[in-house]
Structure 1
Amino acid sequence: MARRPGRTRGIWAIALLVLGVALIAGPMVFMVSRFAPTKVGSDNMLPTLGHADLLVMEKEPSEVRRGDVVTYDPAEWGLTGPFIGRVVAVGGDHIAYAEGDPTLTLNGQPLNESYVQDGAPGAGGVSFAVSVPHGRVFIMGDNRGNSADSRFHPQPHEGTLPVSAVTGVDSGIDENDPLVGVLGLSMTGGAVLLPVGIGLGIAALVVRRRRPVAQAGPVWGAVRVDEP
């Protein structure tokens, strides 16, 4: 049987198109399913984060740790979120501050918070002493003088929120992250392969139209006419 003209080009075209789509769609699906871009909407995280800064938050984090910058749903406080803050204590911790103290204390030890605005960890004038139940977190903003955080919502659980209220953890991903480079290369490769695959597909169609397949053997329906 004669090989159809342009068949090889057609196979390569399909292969390149499939690979190109996979290289572009794969990183997009990965990013959308695992991460969420979040814009800072206030100054409560100064100087760490400014108004309108963009964060890439990991959705549904497997673990929330002390010191994590998170987005959270303050529905338990009767507020509508999401909010952005920092987890300063987790289940089993005792977090405390008395007005005039130079630092917060965590489990009886001074808490080093180099990220706090103006080096004033107790700005806001609220004293507290909270033993965080397991499965809950105590959240504060880095700009303590301008942050409606756990200190100001002592009811019903001394300002703590369930870990399930945390909707995202700062992934630390930025334009210099190796993951961004890998995903970018993948999408760039896909963008290169797609037009090549399209071009090969067009070439295969053109060849097929110009060079019809030669018929081998008798043609069904043909009428034989003998010469006189």
Structure 2
Amino acid sequence: MQRRPGRKRGIWAIVLLVLGGALIAGPIVFVSGRFTVVHQYGDNMAPTLAHGDLVVLRTDTSALRRGDVVIYDPGTWGLKGPFIGRVAALGGEHISYAMGDKVLTLDGQPLDEPYLNGLPGDGGVAFDVAVPQGKVFILGDNRGNSADSRFHLDSSGGTLPVSAVTGIEQPQRTLAYVAPGLAVLTGLFLLPVGIGLGIAALVVRRRKPVPAGPVWGAVHVEQP
């Protein structure tokens, strides 16, 4: 039995189209379920984040660490968010600042903050907070222009429940960030190749129709 012209091209076209579609759809579903994207409005996180910057955050906050840039809900402060800030202290830690000091202290030790814009005490607010378990103390990198935990000390010492943190900034060079993008690019490359092979298969079939063969079950009758 003779094969249809362009059959191999047609099979490869289907394979590439299915694979390309999967490589595009899969990462989109993965990213939409595990990441969120927000814009930074304001200068409270300068110079780390500038006004208008796009920030990618993972929605799994179970691995929250001190120093993470996060998006959070300031509802317990009576404010409408979300806001973006940096986790300065976690539950069980003691963070403080006295006017005139050059650094903040964490558990009695100087806190290294290389990301700051200006001085740690900019904003003119002293504080001395023992962060309860299950809570976080959040500060902006631009202390002179950040409505953060320092200005809500009357509400649990300015701390927020960990549940108020809804996203953690995803470093752009990690595998979880790069791999989905590479998969989508590969899918975008495979789709036009698959479409091209499919078109080529149709062209070949039209130019070379399948030769007519015997009809199964036909009975040969001799003419008298």
Residue 101 of structure 2: aligned partner: 101
Select the residue among 199, 205, 209 that pairs with 1:202: 199
* 1:9-66 superposed Cα distances (whole Å, 9 cap, x missing partner): 2211110101111222233333332222222101111222221122221222221111
Query: Is the CA contact (8 Å cut-off) linking 2:170 and 2:177 kept in structure 1?
Result: no
Residue 184 of structure 2: aligned partner: 187
Query: Is the CA contact (8 Å cut-off) linking 1:43 and 1:143 kept in structure 2?
Result: yes
Aligned length: 223
One-letter amino acid matched to 1:111:
L
Cα distance in 1 for residues equivalent to 2:116 and 2:61: 24
> Displacement of 1:117 after TM fit?
1.9
% identity of equivalent residues: 60
Residue 82 of structure 1: aligned partner: 82
> Displacement of 1:148 after TM fit?
0.7
Structure 2 alignment gaps of length 5 or more: none
Residue 139 of structure 2: aligned partner: 140
Residue 63 of structure 1: aligned partner: 63
Cα distance in 2 for residues equivalent to 1:225 and 1:139: 95
Residue 28 of structure 2: aligned partner: 28
Residue 212 of structure 1: aligned partner: 210
* 1:187-225 superposed Cα distances (whole Å, 9 cap, x missing partner): 3332222122112222333344441363334466x8x77
Secondary structure of the residue that 1:27 maps to in structure 2? helix
Query: Is the CA contact (8 Å cut-off) linking 2:38 and 2:56 kept in structure 1?
Result: yes
Query: Is the CA contact (8 Å cut-off) linking 1:9 and 1:200 kept in structure 2?
Result: yes
Query: Is the CA contact (8 Å cut-off) linking 1:2 and 1:214 kept in structure 2?
Result: no
Q: State how 1:35-54 maps to structure 2 within 5 Å.
A: 35-54=35-54
Query: Is the CA contact (8 Å cut-off) linking 1:5 and 1:204 kept in structure 2?
Result: yes
One-letter amino acid matched to 2:16:
L
Cα distance in 2 for residues equivalent to 1:181 and 1:105: 36
One-letter amino acid matched to 2:17:
L
Q: Aligned Cα RMSD in Å?
A: 2.4
> Displacement of 1:126 after TM fit?
1.6
Residue 227 of structure 1: aligned partner: 223
One-letter amino acid matched to 2:156:
H
Cα distance in 2 for residues equivalent to 1:137 and 1:181: 30
Secondary structure of the residue that 2:80 maps to in structure 1? coil
Cα distance in 2 for residues equivalent to 1:194 and 1:181: 20
Cα distance in 2 for residues equivalent to 1:155 and 1:63: 28
TM-score normalized by the length of structure 2: 0.87
Cα distance in 2 for residues equivalent to 1:158 and 1:181: 39
Cα distance in 2 for residues equivalent to 1:106 and 1:14: 60
Secondary structure of the residue that 1:57 maps to in structure 2? strand
One-letter amino acid matched to 1:206:
V
TM-score normalized by the length of structure 1: 0.86
Residue 8 of structure 1: aligned partner: 8
Structure 1 alignment gaps of length 5 or more: none
One-letter amino acid matched to 1:139:
I
